[in-house]
Structure 1
Amino acid sequence: MHVCLELNYSSFHVAGDAGSVYFGPNHPMKPHRLCMTHHLVLSYDLHKKMEIYRPHKAYPVELAQFHSTDYVEFLHRITPDTQHLFSDELAKYNLGEDCPVFDNLFEFCQIYAGGTIDAACRLNNHLCDIAINWAGGLHHAKKCEASGFCYINDLVLGILELLKCHSRVLYIDIDVHHGDGVEEAFYFTDRVMTVSFHKYGDMFFPGTGDAKEKEKGIETYQPGAIVLQCGADSLAGDRLGCFNLSIDGHAECVRFVKKFNLPLLVTGGGGYTKENVARCWAVETGVLLDTELPNEIPENDYIKYFGPDFSLKIPNGHIENLNSKSYLSTIKMQVLENLRCIQHAPSVQMQEVPPDFYIPDFNEDLQNPDERIDQHTQDKHIQRDDEYYEGDNDNDHQTDL
């Protein structure tokens, strides 16, 4: 361990391969934002203050701890070349326009899910106090189907891992969309409390998460660990989001949660203006390391995408604030009433802690060594020729929303 923040050791999970997948032309999800984030973290020398860890690829049996076996098997075998043969299954598992079938889909799921599972395991084993996996946070995926660009719900898998050692886990979601997949997974247990800050409306995906809703059986909490989903589509100027948060405001949420001094698993999530996502997650990596980053972005392989001012912080958007004081007061009162009606931290009968999930003792990365691409080469990959569709210049969209 190399980070020393007074008994505060951080683990950074690098999923380099996840940044190279391509959802298809005109699809708003651009995993390449992960490469941009990684290079910003490197350019600010944040990697020198924490342990960098390349996670394993989650095995199908691990994914099936939450997802149905038939769904996992289908994701494993479906390819762009064969999907025309499985129209019924595609409809059953909700694969299509929002959740397309693309090359290396299952490997992509294995990588980001493996990162979150490993992060939880490291927290459980006291190898770090804070674990970061910006590739994770795909909170919409359900037990038997994909949803909202999400295929495997890594957050649920990570929480299940944390529950092996912690009586209660608090899940906090600051994505602009409701964390419905995680809430649904733990709706009937009092061992997980889900708190989601999002836009609610019948016409806004996923159409759930009214402030009047509250989980059954969830009680006032004394969590043993926290999972924080930092979806950056709540930033001003996001392509799909409609909130007006500055990066400082978004990062303040991370700073607030960190002050609880509990084992903390931090993931990414949504975010569709790529350079702003990278800016945000780099700043929040700094927050987790108690490191203030200079506003001028250092030279890196993606520097041209941060022009013309090459600054880390972005100005607030120009969206009119329609939240009246009375409306905000009503929401606050409603939330406080929900909390008042729940009892003190529920007791949990803990048994012997189960071992970390069984992982085969072979390294599948070494199965075809002649076909492997040097990992450093993959991580240095800047952009694929078809990554951007016509008119996709995020710098031109900063004030569109």
Structure 2
Amino acid sequence: MTSRNGFKRKVCYYYDAEIGNFYYGKKHPMKPHRIRMTHELVLMYGLYRKMEVYRPHKANEEEMSRFHSSEYIRTLRSLEPDNMHNFGPQINSFLAGEDCPIFNGMYEFCQISAGGSISGAIKLNKKATDIAINWAGGLHHAKKAEASGFCYVNDIVLGIIELLKYHQRVLYIDIDVHHGDGVEEAFYITDRVMTVSFHKFGKNFFPETGDLKDIGAERGKHYAINVPLNDGIDDLSFESIFQPVVSKVIETYRPNVIVLQCGADSLTGDRLGVFNLTLKGHGKCLEFVKGFDIPLLILGGGGYTKKNVARCWTYETAIALNTDLPNDLPQNDYFEYYAPDFKLHISPSNAFNQNPYQNLEKIKATIFENLRSIPHAPSVQMRDIPNNFTLIKHDNDDDSDIDMDDDDGGDDPEVRISQQRSDRHILPDNELSDSEDEGDGRRDDSCHLISQPTQPKKPKVEQQPMVVVATNAGAATAADDLSQSPSSTTTTNPLSSALMHTTTSSSSSSSSSTTSSSTTTTTTNGLAVNLTSPEAATNV
């Protein structure tokens, strides 16, 4: 694809065929199968030919513990429907309510979702792509030690932590109908990440957070922006507030990279949503953000009318690729889902728009006033950038961990990577053709990970040159501790809410000195965090 400045932009896309097999439960609105439906349309429209398709690595416990508590991740890893009674009252603090059920393969589902977002962030850090897409990501409600709103592991926070290794300022934009509370909370007291959420706000609408007056705290004051909206907002009204706010934010904050959460529950007709956006209105948000030519990580999110989610994310994959799609849907394994019209685009309902022009103008004025309170492009200090390309070692892998580089396979040409390990990151033939449904003939929960069909219905991978080996199999080290300006009277970490409990030690070949840090504990919005302040830092 080509940017507005005439430069060719590279797009990579992350998908694991197993993602569609996971099942929250018969009556649960969250259906991971929607991601398989999206991928099917991506294939049938031929979009895969215009981008690099990767199978993400599965995030391991260490990677997920960069934000989440180790005890919480260990519990997720151990929990299964058959043994949940062994955990007693402890489980209630981690998985409260019916929104986040315990289902077969729950931990592996989290690994795939988080792995795609981390892998995409690493690609962007390496400047190996301009746009990275992970529709299995965008689970923005998960907290440090608590599952919330169908979300168990916050892949967005993990991806942003990875991006912060190389980028001074990260902008997070959320167009899900629900407030991105988990991401906002994680970065509430830092100026390294600005969060902007456009969402329905009101009593009895989950999560009941995201008021206009919630603007961040401490060094993060005015770096949390909330755009509370009412029911029925349509394409024109949404565009009238989205574009001015995002333009002003980018002008003021000057982010080095953008993370866009494209929750599809803001579409008209969603089972849980209350907005009235069409695919064109929703997609205009992505098109507008993409137009700034800033590295972009695109993630999924909510969306509970499966056929519309698949339509939306396919359409937005095409937008990322600067490709026009015909409105007639191509034949695919789920063609009957799109009856009766079998069209790509959807029409808005006749719902009343409860967002008058005057209210939207007041919201914009308040946000612009808050933005005037922050310095343009705040400078930061960072420690030396750690290594970040390590092939994740599996339990059944006898090879030792080997650092791998996207370009040449590693720093040491004498070190060889086994074929078995390399094959794990090649998209196999049958992953481009799996078509199992979750309808009446669906497998039961106990066998949800049955192997895929051996006879694909689509062309084999070797006939598709865009499918390549994905060597960015995850980050090797824990996230950096980042310090404040030396002129400050205190040495608390501005990213403390994201880097909760990570301790990193670094050494230089030219010096034997050791970096030490002091740690205190504080609580923000009920979230206990560690504040680590390295005494040695270098300017970036």
| Alignment TM-score > 0.5, same fold | yes
Q: Does 1:237 align with 2:269?
A: yes
Q: Aligned partners of 1:360 and 1:294: how far apart in 2?
A: 40
Partner amino acid, structure 1, of 2:308: N
Partner amino acid, structure 2, of 1:256: F
Q: Which residue of 1 aligns with 2:376?
A: 344
Q: Does 1:384 align with 2:438?
A: yes
Q: Which residue of 2 aligns with 1:16?
A: 17
How far has the Cα of 1:201 moved from its partner?
1.0
Q: Which residue of 1 aligns with 2:364?
A: 332
**344, 352, 367: which one pairs with 1:312?**
344
Partner amino acid, structure 1, of 2:304: Y
How far has the Cα of 1:7 moved from its partner?
2.9
Q: Match of 2:298, SS?
A: strand
* 8 Å Cα contact 1:90/1:96 also seen in 2: no
Matches within 5 A, 1:2-401: 6-216=7-217, 217-218=219-220, 220-356=252-388, 358-362=390-394, 376=430, 380-385=434-439
Q: Aligned partners of 2:295 and 2:441: how far apart in 1?
A: 36
Q: Aligned partners of 2:389 and 2:192: how far apart in 1?
A: 20
* 8 Å Cα contact 2:58/2:115 also seen in 1: yes
Q: Match of 1:65, SS?
A: coil
Partner amino acid, structure 2, of 1:175: D
Distance 1:360 1:35, change over 3 A: closer
* 8 Å Cα contact 2:17/2:431 also seen in 1: no
How far has the Cα of 1:16 moved from its partner?
1.7
Distance 1:86 1:240, change over 3 A: same
* 8 Å Cα contact 2:333/2:435 also seen in 1: no
Partner amino acid, structure 2, of 1:127: A
Q: Deviations over 1:178-205 (max 9, x none)?
A: 0000000011111000000000112110
* 8 Å Cα contact 1:23/1:29 also seen in 2: yes
Q: Deviations over 1:251-300 (max 9, x none)?
A: 00000000111110000000000000000001100111011111000111
Q: Aligned partners of 2:141 and 2:166: how far apart in 1?
A: 25
* 8 Å Cα contact 1:58/1:113 also seen in 2: yes
Partner amino acid, structure 1, of 2:437: Q
* 8 Å Cα contact 1:141/1:148 also seen in 2: yes
Q: Deviations over 1:60-89 (max 9, x none)?
A: 110001000000000000000011222312
* 8 Å Cα contact 2:177/2:198 also seen in 1: yes
Q: Which residue of 1 aligns with 2:478?
A: none
Partner amino acid, structure 1, of 2:62: V
Q: Which moved more, 1:40-49 or 1:11-20?
A: 11-20
Q: Which moved more, 1:378-387 or 1:39-48?
A: 378-387
Q: Aligned partners of 2:306 and 2:441: how far apart in 1?
A: 12
How far has the Cα of 1:312 moved from its partner?
0.3
Q: What TM-score do the two structures reach when normalised by structure 2?
A: 0.68
Q: Which has the larger radius of gyration?
A: 2
Q: What TM-score do the two structures reach when normalised by structure 1?
A: 0.91
How far has the Cα of 1:378 moved from its partner?
9.0
Partner amino acid, structure 2, of 1:139: H
RMSD over equivalenced CA pairs, Å: 2.0
Q: Which residue of 2 aligns with 1:392?
A: none
* 8 Å Cα contact 1:173/1:229 also seen in 2: yes
Aligned residue pairs, count:
381
Distance 1:361 1:75, change over 3 A: closer
Partner amino acid, structure 1, of 2:51: M
Q: Aligned partners of 2:197 and 2:56: how far apart in 1?
A: 27
Distance 1:211 1:349, change over 3 A: same
Partner amino acid, structure 1, of 2:339: G
Q: Match of 1:312, SS?
A: coil
Q: Match of 1:62, SS?
A: helix
Q: Which residue of 1 aligns with 2:472?
A: none
Q: Match of 1:228, SS?
A: strand
Gaps of 5+ in 1: 368-373, 389-401
